[in-house]
């Protein structure tokens, strides 16, 4: 998903920048550029080059990196060794994730780095980090820290956090987890950015976001030079045992603006979409429903209290449809984006969201959330916990008291030195779907499938639940019956309702170990049957067969 919240600030920011430029330029000092971008006579003589230097910096400030690069390239034609311009170009390429180019320009500026601002070493350290050069990154961050004014405690604390993260990331890279990461190939991926995968519980349908030329309208976003986002879909081909070639999702989801996939519901009937064209410019969560013809409805925004005037993104629905986990920057959070959960009150109404709090949310930014089909394991992305890269993917388990465990970093190579944001796990815990920049990509960010069956933490998820399967039977004839099974916790709260429409079909219940449940089984023409099932925490079995007998 392309996070567009910054774009709606750009007009206002650009206005402020231009007003400031014209009001203070007569005094020869522009607060939106570094000192040497405007006043250092040894860099450029006053005149056209200095104006270009300021113009490029303005482009950078408002996020127009391509425009800034174009101006800096002009300046380098006559001054190829100029340290400031090389440094600024390196910054631009860092922001556009072209880290090898960023490194090149930082190295060009390095011989004269002492002439530049201390932040040169900080950004150079971040570039080295993205490339995977941890030792060089740590050394440059130490140089930056040494140049910080001792009174600037906030900057020193930030540098210490980055150094700590670099050391932690290095330790994870040196001890990779046992997983197999495979590119999903040309049926799914293209030469353009493909990301944000989500699959149905049966893994027969995958949706994702792409920025390829056949997106609706075919227009390019002027801010980053890439095609606008659209949502694509692919179905599993049973006959050939492979994914069909992905196509723009049929129906009314895609528009000529950005349309990004957040998730598809486990049953494949609802898609959550991210859009950002509200009156206040805040991102919101929309939903679209699948018709009987397989086409998708025009997305509608989720009502309050899910969407607010603040930024909302990333949504994941539990398998029973009763809880929605999502990310929001609303008031009451711990930091920037936080993870919240809301319980369904009725078909079209959600309850007041609850912040998951510590240890999930941090004072920094949580950006993605995925709730496992069993409802007990959460995967999320954050830059507030110790990481390999910037944003890493973490896992947390809900204990029997209803508290989330301390997040576990999924480790390298799932997490890399880049920002790793998207991750969904299959129902059987064997495969994960994920997007990222890797050496074997088809040209840009691609979607991958990961064999996580040997992952030290993920492989143990199935030990948390007991799966009970069977039939509802008549006591008189042994006939298989349709019906419903209501699952209650020890506070008489309904946790799940399993409906058996086809009597030949086995019901499947997933019960958390370490808890006691009451089951109420109902079938038309029969008395309600009630059973108490106590699943001990130390239960070694993960699957059992059980039939429920109904009497008239």
Most confident of 188-197, 433-442, 493-502: 188-197
Q: With the CA atoms of 335, 339, 345 and 348 taken in that order, what torsion angle do they form, in degrees rounded to the nearest 10? A: 100
Structure confidence at residue 11 (pLDDT): 37
Nearest to 446 by CA among 422, 464, 425: 422
Structure confidence at residue 136 (pLDDT): 98
Structure confidence at residue 282 (pLDDT): 74
Give CATH 2.60.40.2190 domain extents, the chain. Answer: 463-550
CA distance from start to end of the chain: 54
Structure confidence at residue 37 (pLDDT): 60
CA distance 517 to 284: 37
Structure confidence at residue 23 (pLDDT): 32
CA distance 252 to 295: 8
Structure confidence at residue 513 (pLDDT): 86
Cβ pair 251, 269 in contact under 8 A: no
Looking at residues 340-355, what average pLDDT do you find?
Answer: 94
Q: How many CA atoms lie within 13 A of 268 on its CB side?
A: 16
Structure confidence at residue 243 (pLDDT): 98
Strand 472-474 with 548-550, pairing: parallel
Lowest mean pLDDT among 87-91, 143-147, 464-468: 464-468
Structure confidence at residue 281 (pLDDT): 55
CA distance 227 to 481: 53
Lowest mean pLDDT among 2-6, 248-252, 509-513: 2-6
CA distance 499 to 508: 10
Instruction: Tell me the helices (H) and strands (E) count for the chain, helix number first.
Output: 8, 32
Give CATH 2.120.10.30 domain extents, the chain. Answer: 180-456
Residue 417: partners with Cβ closer than 8 Å, 6 or more residues away: 129, 130, 131, 132, 169, 173, 388, 389
Give CATH 1.25.40.10 domain extents, the chain. Answer: 7-173
Nearest to 382 by CA among 434, 356, 329, 419: 419
18-39 per-position pLDDT tens digit: 333 333 333 233 333 444 564 3
pLDDT surpasses 80 at 462: no
Looking at residues 180-205, what average pLDDT do you find?
Answer: 97
CA distance 523 to 528: 7
Strand 483-488 with 180-183, pairing: unpaired
Query: Which token pair is 99?
Result: 């880290």
CA angle 329, 331, 333 (to 5 degrees): 70
CA distance 249 to 364: 34
Structure confidence at residue 78 (pLDDT): 86
CA angle 274, 277, 281 (to 5 degrees): 100
Cβ pair 192, 447 in contact under 8 A: no
pLDDT surpasses 80 at 6: no
Q: Given 2.40.50.140, 2.120.10.30, 3.30.450.20, 1.10.3720.10, which CATH number is that of 180-456?
A: 2.120.10.30
Rg (CA), the chain: 27
pLDDT surpasses 60 at 410: yes
Residue 539 banded pLDDT, cuts 50, 70, 90: confident
Looking at residues 3-25, what average pLDDT do you find?
Answer: 37
Burial class (CB in 10 A: 0-12, 13-18, 19+), 213: exposed
Query: Which token pair is 97?
Result: 């994730």
User: DSSP states of 138-206 as a string?
Assistant: HHHHHHHHHHS-TT-HHHHHHHHHHHHHHHHHHHHHTS--S-EEEE--TTT--SS-EEEEEE-TTS-EE
Residue 283 banded pLDDT, cuts 50, 70, 90: confident
Lowest mean pLDDT among 7-21, 185-199, 426-440, 498-512: 7-21
pLDDT surpasses 70 at 231: yes
Structure confidence at residue 537 (pLDDT): 74
Residue 419 banded pLDDT, cuts 50, 70, 90: very high
CA distance 286 to 400: 32
Per-residue CA distances from 84 to 29, 50, 116, 362, 476 (Å): 17, 12, 7, 36, 88
pTM (2 decimals)? 0.83
Q: Give 290's DSSP letter.
A: B
Structure confidence at residue 1 (pLDDT): 58
Mean residue pLDDT of the chain comes to 89
Q: Given 3.20.20.70, 2.60.40.2190, 3.40.50.300, 3.40.50.1370, which CATH number is that of 463-550?
A: 2.60.40.2190
7-173: CATH superfamily: Tetratricopeptide repeat domain (1.25.40.10)
């Amino acid at each position: 998903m392309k996070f567009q919240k910054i774009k709606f600030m750009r007009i206002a920011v650009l206005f402020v920048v231009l007003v400031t430029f014209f009001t203070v330029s007569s005094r020869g000092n522009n607060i939106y550029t570094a000192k040497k971008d405007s006043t250092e006579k040894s860099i450029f003589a006053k005149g056209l080059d200095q104006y270009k230097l300021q113009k490029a910096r303005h482009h950078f400030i408002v996020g127009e990196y391509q425009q800034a690069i174009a101006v800096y390239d002009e300046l380098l034609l006559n001054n190829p060794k100029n340290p400031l311009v090389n440094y600024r170009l390196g910054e631009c390429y860092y922001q556009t994730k072209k880290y090898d180019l960023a490194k090149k320009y930082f190295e060009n500026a390095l011989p004269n780095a002492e002439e530049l601002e201390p932040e040169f070493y900080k950004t150079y350290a971040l570039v080295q980090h993205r490339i995977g050069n941890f030792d060089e990154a740590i050394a440059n961050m130490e140089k930056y820290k040494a140049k910080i004014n001792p009174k600037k405690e906030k900057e020193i604390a930030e540098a210490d956090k980055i150094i700590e993260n670099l050391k932690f990331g290095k330790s994870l890279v040196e001890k990779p987890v046992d997983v197999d990461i495979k590119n999903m190939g040309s049926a799914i991926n293209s030469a353009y950015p493909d990301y944000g995968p989500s699959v149905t519980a049966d893994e027969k349908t995958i949706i994702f976001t792409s920025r390829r030329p056949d997106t609706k309208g075919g227009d390019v976003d002027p801010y980053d030079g890439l095609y606008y986002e659209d949502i694509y879909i692919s179905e599993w081909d049973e006959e050939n045992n492979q994914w069909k070639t992905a196509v723009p999702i049929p129906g009314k989801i895609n528009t000529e603006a950005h349309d990004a996939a957040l998730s598809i519901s486990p049953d494949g009937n609802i898609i959550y979409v991210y859009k950002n064209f509200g009156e206040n410019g805040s991102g919101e969560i929309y939903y679209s429903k699948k018709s009987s013809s397989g086409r998708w409805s025009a997305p509608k925004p989720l009502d309050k209290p899910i969407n607010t005037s603040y930024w909302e993104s990333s949504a994941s629905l539990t398998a029973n449809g009763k809880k929605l986990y999502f990310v929001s920057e609303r008031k009451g959070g711990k930091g920037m984006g936080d993870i919240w959960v809301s319980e369904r009150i009725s078909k079209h109404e959600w309850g007041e969201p609850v912040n998951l709090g510590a240890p999930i949310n941090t004072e920094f930014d949580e950006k993605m959330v995925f709730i496992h089909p069993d409802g007990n394991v959460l995967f999320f992305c954050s830059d507030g916990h110790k990481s390999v890269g910037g944003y890493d993917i973490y896992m947390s388990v809900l204990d029997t008291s209803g508290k989330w465990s301390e997040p576990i970093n999924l480790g390298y190579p799932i997490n890399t030195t880049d920002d790793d944001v998207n991750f969904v796990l299959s129902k059987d815990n064997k495969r994960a779907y994920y997007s990222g920049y890797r050496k074997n990509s088809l040209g840009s960010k691609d979607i991958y499938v990961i064999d996580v069956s040997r992952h030290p933490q993920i492989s143990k998820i199935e030990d948390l639940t007991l799966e009970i399967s069977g039939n509802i039977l008549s006591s008189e004839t042994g006939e298989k019956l349709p019906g419903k099974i209501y699952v209650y916790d020890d506070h008489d709260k309904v946790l799940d309702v399993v409906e058996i429409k086809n009597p030949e079909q086995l019901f499947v219940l997933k019960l958390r170990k370490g808890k006691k449940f009451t089951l109420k089984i109902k079938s038309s023409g029969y008395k309600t049957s009630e059973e108490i099932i106590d699943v001990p925490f130390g239960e070694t079995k993960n699957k059992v067969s059980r039939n429920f007998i109904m009497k008239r």
